[in-house]
Structure 1
Amino acid sequence: MPVLVGGTVTGPSEFRVDPDVDLRVPADRRELTAHPAAVLGVIAAGGVLGALARAGLQATFPHPPTGFPWATFGINVAGCLLIGALMAVLTARPAGPLVRPFLGVGVLGGFTTFSTYAVDAQRAVAAGSPGTALAYLAATLAGALLAVWAGDAVASRLLARAKVGAAR
């Protein structure tokens, strides 16, 4: 059972809802109202960077309406891999309060594009390629879920090895 000690929850990390913000902890709830403009500012700045990277990749690798949208697929899977890795890193090594909003919500949220995922599928159906649309929908969902898991698992293992290596 986690215990509240000086505004922090001690105990197993699996009890935390989020690695750096747990709304069950009064100190964490206060953090959300302490600097909302800064949080929104870093999310916006990160979102611009992520969206520009995504737009550049999509412009570099266009696809016809009936073709498989490889750029969007790759962007979403890569973004999910990085989100999984980021959450593992922030769980193992907590960072400042603006790191996760900037990188996770801003950069990677702006980079991944599940709205384009839906539009790409709709366009494929409208262009007469429902099979491509269905394959794309399924592959993206499976790929994204596996990528988050893989990013978290690989980063967690690497961090654990680094910790063991540093302890020697």
Structure 2
Amino acid sequence: MRSTTLSRLVPLVVSGLSATALAGPVAASPSPTDAPSSVAAQSLPVSCPRGKGVTVVVDFGPSTTVKCATGDPSSGLAALSGAGFKVVQVQRFPGAVCRINGVPSRTQEACVVMPPSTRYWSYWHAVRGGRWVYSTSGAGTNNPKPGTVEGWAFGAGKPPSTPVPR
């Protein structure tokens, strides 16, 4: 499983250069995952090798994690868990994602009923290098093809803030 953790670098100025001008490694802030946190700015984000799995992007708000679900996952949920994310579903609505890697916390959301529309995991799809498209099917029924990208963003239904990997 390949992964990268990204931090929002807004605004970051180092010796008069913007974050996008940096050519060396960028240390990311801690994220809700145990993924490595140091990556080269020019290579962000990491994705599955072409045709070797489904790339999964999870935008936690303060950080974004990109991982690879190898092979041909049978559903969006299988891709999410196959990429190494810990998923808790809504008790009264099986298949609906309530928590990914502890976000939101148990004190913020009990995961018994659907979370409010301002604080939920929205589900997105994309082709590599394309644009995020809001999913019209649930993650339990969608069958992503190897080489595609699945996206998850916590909040009020906006797409992941990270561009779709190429």
Instruction: Normalising by structure 1, report the TM-score.
Output: 0.22
Instruction: Normalising by structure 2, report the TM-score.
Output: 0.22
Greater fraction strand: 2
Between 1 and 2, higher relative CO (CA 8 Å, sep ≥ 6) is seen in 1
Answer with 1 or 2: which has the greater Rg.
1
Greater fraction helix: 1
